Structure 1
Amino acid sequence: MEPTRLFDLIPYQIATYDKEIALSKKENGQWKSFSSRDVKKIIDDLSLAFLKTGVKPGEKIAIISTNCPEWNFIDLALQQVGAISVPMYPTITSADYEYIFEHAEVKMIFVGDEDIYEKAKAAAGDRLIYSFEKLEGAIFWEDLLSIGVNEDIVSLENAKEKINPDDLFTIIYTSGTTGRPKGVMLSHTNVLSNVIAIATIMTPPQGSSRVLSFLPLCHIYERTGSFCFMYLGFSIYYAESIETLGENMKEIKPHAFNTVPRLLEKIYDKIVAKGYELTGIKKGLFFWALNLGLEYDPGKEMGAWYNFQLKMANKLIFSKWREALGGEVMQINSGASALQPRLARVFWAAGIKVCEGYGLTETSPVVSASVCTREEMRIGWVGKIVQEVKVKIAEDGEILVKGPSIMQGYYRQPEMTAEVLKNGWFHTGDIGELDGEFLKITDRKKEMFKTSGGKYIAPQLMENKFKESTLIDQLIILGENRNYPSALIVPSFEGLKDYCKHKGIPYTTDKEMIQKPETIEKYDRELEQLNKYFGKWEQIKRFKLLPEPWGIESGELTPTMKLKRKVIHQKFEKEIEKLYKD
């Protein structure tokens, strides 16, 4: 029987695949795994415990933790009793927790570790806090689990029968680049329709594939992805941390995983940095292969001579790249922000199929996704519109979306809901273009600005291009109502060190190096090369190098690594003014 509610995915998995390893995590140096039947037993016992302790349908329960099987257990168990999960980022502040606890009317909280517990406790008031680790002051989640072990399953079956596919199952507070986060209300149908749509374009074999999960489960991208993996019978392994990702890849040898462009950029930069460390013929071969890869287009016939060279490059150089990812990756899904086309080219050339997609929390999330075949892959586009979703482009270029995956609305914010949901169409705020079923994103509607000369600037498009430089880690394009564009740049300090080493320039500290005339001259030349890709009115005239990277905790980035433009403008007001004074 096809699932109609998200918690039906586990019985469906048992009936279809009966996985020996459904979920797995590293504990005390060993992988601890749960079968499909283990997962069902745990979520049923938890659901019974929720019923026994008086959790009612419609009550809001917060989950704040890094990825682990316990996250899924709580999520699925809450669904079975009709309670509504409110997942939250572990990285946000205690003040953010307090706002969401109050706004969502949260009754109970589940936390991962001690750091999260301390932050949550400061904001929790008299709410009960359960923890996935044994912590002083919190109730251990297994103590709750034990309450449901001997309860009558009939009460749970009765509770499940009352839950309809269109019932609300979660409220996800979007991080937002401006203002307070909004609570996106999603039903079982919203997410499950998206799960089934993206399952049709996943290439690893059903029932026998492994995936590594490391993007936050509190974000709809990884959460819908995880439900899709359950539906397809993939074994989900949770990475210990971002730091251990490389090691976990080699252990698990995943067939697929979800990622964000930022991580692919870092992988690429590390690979290039290692290339610079080589000498002689090895270095020559490395950069020959790299440059060959940067020319690749999977959708085009590259010719016999090129194909011969690429075959050699794969044997000599790119095979090592694949080994670093475990050696068995068949599909990497990239989303949450724009992927640099050069990364797509070089990874595809290396036999690493990176498939870009597009969506928002409000669309559950996938609107379009690249089909993982050479024939249907288009570099620079975010794939084809997924099944059951409709897209049209408004007169001003805004992307409008309709379909079963569109949210119910923003929790307790009917005016904001009415702003974005009009005549059944969700207004994404993104600017794009359609070519048949293929979609391209060109910018954020709210982020486009005019110079004082009346010329439009699309900052995201430009920022993505400038970040192709191995010397640039982060940057923001400025210039609204000014007479020319400028930029704040956070250098790639690894790239800068490599350049200095190559040129015999002594490297002291990051702060000192960005003030040296030879560094500034190098960045001048770098921008001059990249400016050529843009019209004269778009070209960066002046820039300022910054000594510290922007981060989530320091406030310049959202948890999905998007720029908080307003925050950056306020924080670096003096530096920005200097760019326009002389």
Structure 2
Amino acid sequence: MNLAEAIISKNAEKHAFKSAVGFKKKEGWKELSWKKFSEIIFKTANALKDSGVGENDKVAIYADNSAEWLIFDLAALSIGAITIPIYSTNNAEQAEYIINDSQAKIILVGNQAQYDAAFEIIQKKSSLQTVIVTKKAVWVKKENTFYLEDFIAKTSPKLEIVKKEYDDLATIIYTSGTTGSPKGVMLTHGNFVKSFDAHLEYFKFKNFENELSLAFLPLTHVFERCWSLFCLYGGAKVYFLEDPKDIAATLEEVKPTMMCAVPRFFQKVYAGVLEKAKESSSLKKKIFDWALEVGKQTSELRRVEKSVPFGLMVKNSIADTLVFNKVKQKMGGRLWFMPCGGASVSPDVTQLFEAMGLHVTVGYGLTETTATLTAFPFNYFEHGSCGKPLPGVEIRIGENDEILAKGNGIMKGYYNKPEETEKVFTQDGWFKTGDAGKFDENGNLFITDRIKDLMKTSNGKYIAPQQIENILTNNNFIGQIVLVAEGRQFVAALIVPNFEFLDDYAKKNNIAFAHREELVQKKEIIDFYKDKLKELQHELSDFEKVKKFTLMPAEFEISSGEITPTLKVKRNVVLKKYADLIEKMY
């Protein structure tokens, strides 16, 4: 079954005049019906065929989120080509590596920098032959270049989709990776379709075709791409957010019912809610604390499918009106299903959302597993866990507590890297995730840490950095943090303040500064963070606590290679880049 056929055929017929996708044009949001959406996909597919793209040829996409992104993806799949997503934040050198490794023939770009990089690659006589540009605002050199609108203008809106077997290659996704050079993960049509069916079986959604999802994470990442394609597979509507910095305003405009996000998004909401409560009057603080306790009692009963007493229901309704509804309205007011993956999330965060009546569906998976291996069910989930395996997924715990997986979503291997592929599979075919974990007595999976990230101090104590970093970044004044401990006598940290809150704190306390380099070196600010760490680390063992730290004057950036596009810190890059700062702490 061709993935594109599985998505387009039934929906274009069943929901012909129902909206399939939404996108922002100038100041307003526009939609395409399933009929129009499928016609544009087929016109694009025919244009790709006319330009010489055949079955199993590679087609790259190097652009920010947009309807055109997914149209191009489904068009390529429709003719049996293989899609190669490239992160929109990748620089020219990174894009060139992926194009050369995959031998992509044609590429879709979204902005001027992406076009310039792609055009330069063509000049080097690579496999790349043609650049397609989504926006007419991009200035182009005509050679080997077409605007998408012109590229598809004269083609037919009818197409016979190429038949594919489940084991046929659909896409190669190059991992941004927190270590080493990118590896091309080969995923098949069957990986996607069988994974989608497993989600429908696991969650048993009702009236799924009435849902509206906002594509907020990069479509290049397996999580958002799988989720958005899954929504379309089930007949739901998908809106595309081009710039994730606009998320706050967009949530209130679009009012999605579903949206996948990474833990950092939920941490920011969590920290913002608690900080606002902390700064409120004593009466408002008491009301918040009361509402939170009522919400937790209610959500806990619902979690284990127990009836909520009438008196508690009344209290919860009052708590919702006075406190929780204000937060929910800021998130659009209709969100109810929010998959969360990409890193671990602390139970404090999920418990707060659950108390507000917002279920965060924590899951676990990798690019190599077509995203989800495990997820929270709607009931009987355990906060702090990653949920239970989806249908068709097998998990066991191997040597060094490593999580091993088998199932429908496991990749074919790494493209052009047979030796790397061999390293991540056991002799009996289990995929080695590189994560350490354990099951509880009820079958819930808990991630203990990345095996490669575990640190051993010179005193022989093991430090699991992600858990500690989660505790600390749950606070509004800490934006990013990297722990240092390997071979050292104590734990130290590089801390990036959340400057939005720190700037405000400095102004309120009359701490003058000309620039952030000066701000983070001020004694009052350093003392403030010492007190903050003391407050946040009280439940940690002494050997786990951060003893010394350095405040960084700027955020770790995707463009400099310090973090991945899903905001995970590339630990090795940061430790190497700031080695001198780290040594000064010891």
2:177 counterpart letter in structure 1: G
Instruction: Identify unmatched segments of 5+ residues in structure 2.
Output: none
Q: Percent identity?
A: 36
Work out whether 1:428 is the aligned partner of 2:426. Answer: no
SS in 1 for 2:343: coil
Tell me which residue corresponds to 1:231: 233
For residue 238 of structure 1, report the CA deviation from its aligned partner: 1.2
Work out whether 1:142 is the aligned partner of 2:144. Answer: no
The CA distance in 2 between the partners of 1:296 and 1:396, in whole Å, is 39
Q: Which of residues 539, 543, 546 in structure 2 aligns to 1:533?
A: 539
Aligned residue runs from structure 1 range 188-199, under 5 A: 188-199=189-200
Tell me which residue corresponds to 1:392: 396
The CA distance in 2 between the partners of 1:419 and 1:562, in whole Å, is 23
Do 1:293 and 1:345's aligned partners in 2 also have CA atoms closer than 8 Å? no
CA spacing shift, 1:308–1:485, aligned 2, 3 Å: farther
Work out whether 1:249 is the aligned partner of 2:247. Answer: no
- Comparing 471-480 with 42-51, greater Cα deviation is found at 42-51
Do 2:361 and 2:375's aligned partners in 1 also have CA atoms closer than 8 Å? yes
The CA distance in 2 between the partners of 1:432 and 1:306, in whole Å, is 37
SS in 2 for 1:560: coil
Do 1:203 and 1:331's aligned partners in 2 also have CA atoms closer than 8 Å? no
Deviations 1:475-513 (A, max 9, x none): 1111111111111111223333455566x4535343333
- Comparing 259-268 with 119-128, greater Cα deviation is found at 119-128
Deviations 1:119-138 (A, max 9, x none): 32233335311111124223
Tell me which residue corresponds to 2:418: 414
Do 1:17 and 1:207's aligned partners in 2 also have CA atoms closer than 8 Å? no
Work out whether 1:553 is the aligned partner of 2:559. Answer: yes
Tell me which residue corresponds to 2:166: 165
Do 1:6 and 1:192's aligned partners in 2 also have CA atoms closer than 8 Å? no
Deviations 1:366-397 (A, max 9, x none): 101112x3x32321111111110100001310
The CA distance in 2 between the partners of 1:538 and 1:53, in whole Å, is 59
Work out whether 1:184 is the aligned partner of 2:185. Answer: yes
Tell me which residue corresponds to 1:108: 106
The CA distance in 1 between the partners of 2:429 and 2:481, in whole Å, is 37
The CA distance in 1 between the partners of 2:418 and 2:364, in whole Å, is 26
Work out whether 1:220 is the aligned partner of 2:222. Answer: yes
Instruction: Identify unmatched segments of 5+ residues in structure 1.
Output: none
Deviations 1:291-326 (A, max 9, x none): 776888634679978776544322201111111111
Aligned residue runs from structure 1 range 19-30, under 5 A: 20-30=18-28
Q: CA-atom RMSD, angstroms?
A: 2.4
The CA distance in 2 between the partners of 1:48 and 1:17, in whole Å, is 23
Do 2:404 and 2:430's aligned partners in 1 also have CA atoms closer than 8 Å? yes
Deviations 1:183-214 (A, max 9, x none): 00010001111111123316463221211111
Q: TM-score, normalised by structure 1?
A: 0.92
Do 2:208 and 2:235's aligned partners in 1 also have CA atoms closer than 8 Å? yes
Do 1:204 and 1:330's aligned partners in 2 also have CA atoms closer than 8 Å? no
Aligned residue runs from structure 1 range 60-71, under 5 A: 60-71=58-69
The CA distance in 1 between the partners of 2:498 and 2:293, in whole Å, is 20
Tell me which residue corresponds to 2:120: 122
Do 1:490 and 1:546's aligned partners in 2 also have CA atoms closer than 8 Å? yes
Tell me which residue corresponds to 1:262: 264
2:437 counterpart letter in structure 1: G
CA spacing shift, 1:576–1:558, aligned 2, 3 Å: same
SS in 2 for 1:139: strand
SS in 2 for 1:207: helix
The CA distance in 2 between the partners of 1:550 and 1:122, in whole Å, is 28
For residue 518 of structure 1, report the CA deviation from its aligned partner: 2.9
The CA distance in 1 between the partners of 2:290 and 2:242, in whole Å, is 35
For residue 340 of structure 1, report the CA deviation from its aligned partner: 2.5
Count of residues in Structure 1 that have an aligned counterpart in Structure 2 = 569
CA spacing shift, 1:404–1:545, aligned 2, 3 Å: same
2:399 counterpart letter in structure 1: E
Do 2:296 and 2:354's aligned partners in 1 also have CA atoms closer than 8 Å? no
The CA distance in 2 between the partners of 1:527 and 1:339, in whole Å, is 19
Deviations 1:415-471 (A, max 9, x none): 000000222211000011113432111100111121112221111111111222232
1:25 counterpart letter in structure 2: F
The CA distance in 1 between the partners of 2:451 and 2:234, in whole Å, is 36
Tell me which residue corresponds to 1:33: 31
Tell me which residue corresponds to 1:378: 382
Do 2:20 and 2:33's aligned partners in 1 also have CA atoms closer than 8 Å? yes
SS in 2 for 1:443: strand
Do 1:345 and 1:379's aligned partners in 2 also have CA atoms closer than 8 Å? yes
- Comparing 42-51 with 91-100, greater Cα deviation is found at 42-51
For residue 62 of structure 1, report the CA deviation from its aligned partner: 0.7
Deviations 1:219-273 (A, max 9, x none): 1111110121012211111124223322222222211111111122223344445
